[in-house]
């Protein structure tokens, strides 16, 4: 082929050579393309780490809070179900070290006798694994409360003190009257021996056991005379509990007799031989 212009001839030769080279070189594979990326993302192996030495368990101590809790428990174990004592202390206390598996116990050496303000000094000893480690005196601020019965309304004599006429209230022991009746006491078998006003704490001076028979009641009398047994009505002339001797009046003869209260509204009379029937 001839070209009129030498420059065009040279350009054609270069183009033909480039085309032939491109056809002879194969395109790179996917693995070749990703190989540099894979090599960069693979982390280098870490050097071996030295072994970790096991650490010992942290030591235990008997803190002030532990002592207060033990003292509170020791006092409350001796109280009734209606009573409760709470205590706190801000006294200086040096914690006592304990081994991880050690056991300790506290023993109280004085009785609970706080001031009116609730201040009390506890005298106690501590043993660790059965071995005495010392005695201490620790000032405490205490609160002693009791649950008692209180009148919810004004009640008259001979009224039966049961809910809702009475209710329970928790009060400071130092503010309670003497002989206050604990809230756990069942008063259904009692009656008031005198009137009480509303919001008054009930005491044992306010109540008495409800009589099995009451003056003026018509009761059943069982008269036993040997093998003979007679039942008759009579009027009670006085109150009486089970086991009491009470005076009665025979309704039919109006004679006054006496007998033993055996249960509610019942009286027994045991006659001797040759004794006149009432």
Contact call for residues 253 and 276 (beta carbons, < 8 A): no
Q: Is residue 32 part of a domain?
A: no
Cα gap 250→266, rounded to integer Å: 14
Q: Per DSSP, what are the bridge partners of residue 99?
A: none
pTM: 0.65
Q: Is residue 26 part of a domain?
A: no
Residue-number span of the structural domain to which 129 is assigned: 60-144
Q: Is residue 201 part of a domain?
A: no
Q: Is residue 161 part of a domain?
A: no
Structural domain ending residue among the three candidates 144, 159, 182: 144
Strand, helix or coil for residue 105: strand
Contact call for residues 206 and 150 (beta carbons, < 8 A): no
Strand, helix or coil for residue 197: coil
Which pair of structure tokens corresponds to residue 3?
A: 């070209």
Q: How many domains does the chain have?
A: 2
Q: What is the pLDDT of residue 57?
A: 44
Strand, helix or coil for residue 211: coil
User: Of 202, 143, 145, 151, which is closest to residue 177 (Cα–Cα)?
Assistant: 202
How many CB atoms within 10 Å of residue 31? Answer: 8
Q: Is residue 51 part of a domain?
A: no
Can you give the CATH number for the domain in which 235 is found?
Answer: 2.30.30.760
- Residue range 195-253, pLDDT digits in tens: 999 999 999 999 999 999 999 999 999 999 888 889 999 999 999 999 999 999 999 89
Q: What is the pLDDT of residue 275?
A: 55
Q: Is residue 8 part of a domain?
A: no
Q: Is residue 168 part of a domain?
A: no
Q: Is residue 48 part of a domain?
A: no
Structural domain ending residue among the three candidates 144, 161, 179: 144
Structural domain ending residue among the three candidates 105, 124, 144: 144
Dmax (CA) for the chain in angstroms is 179
Q: Per DSSP, what are the bridge partners of residue 231?
A: 222
Q: What is the pLDDT of residue 18?
A: 47
pLDDT, tens digit only, all 278 positions of the chain = 444 445 445 445 444 444 544 455 556 665 665 565 555 555 556 566 555 444 444 579 999 999 999 999 999 999 999 999 999 999 999 999 999 999 999 999 999 999 989 999 999 999 999 999 999 999 999 999 999 999 999 999 999 999 999 999 999 999 999 999 999 999 999 999 999 999 999 999 999 999 999 999 999 999 998 888 899 999 999 999 999 999 999 998 999 999 999 999 999 998 876 555 56
The gap between the terminal CA atoms of the chain, to the nearest Å, is 170
Which residue has 């008259």 as its token pair? 156
């Amino acid at each position: 082929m001839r070209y009129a212009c030498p420059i065009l001839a040279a350009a054609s030769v270069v183009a033909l050579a480039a085309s032939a080279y491109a056809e002879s070189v194969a395109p790179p594979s996917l693995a070749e393309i990703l190989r540099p990326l894979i090599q960069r993302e693979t982390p280098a192996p870490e050097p071996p780490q030295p072994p970790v030495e096991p650490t010992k368990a942290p030591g235990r101590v008997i803190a002030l809070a532990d002592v207060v809790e033990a003292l509170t428990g020791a006092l409350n174990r001796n109280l009734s179900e209606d009573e409760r004592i709470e205590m706190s202390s801000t006294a200086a206390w040096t914690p006592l070290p304990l081994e991880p598996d050690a056991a300790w116990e506290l023993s109280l050496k004085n009785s609970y006798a706080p001031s009116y303000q609730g201040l009390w000094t506890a005298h106690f000893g501590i043993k660790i694994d059965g071995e005495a480690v010392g005695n201490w005196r620790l000032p405490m601020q205490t609160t002693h409360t009791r649950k008692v019965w209180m009148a919810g309304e004004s009640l008259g004599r001979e009224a039966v003190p049961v809910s809702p006429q009475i209710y329970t209230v928790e009060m400071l022991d130092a503010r309670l009257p003497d002989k206050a009746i604990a809230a756990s006491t069942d008063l259904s078998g009692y009656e008031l021996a005198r009137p009480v006003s509303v919001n008054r704490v009930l005491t044992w001076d306010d109540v008495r056991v409800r009589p099995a028979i009451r003056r003026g009641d018509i009761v059943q009398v069982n008269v036993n005379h040997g093998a003979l047994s007679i039942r008759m009505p009579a009027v009670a002339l006085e109150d009486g509990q089970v086991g009491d001797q009470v005076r009665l009046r025979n309704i039919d003869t109006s004679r006054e007799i006496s007998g033993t209260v055996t249960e509610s509204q019942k009286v027994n009379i045991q006659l001797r031989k040759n004794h006149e029937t009432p």
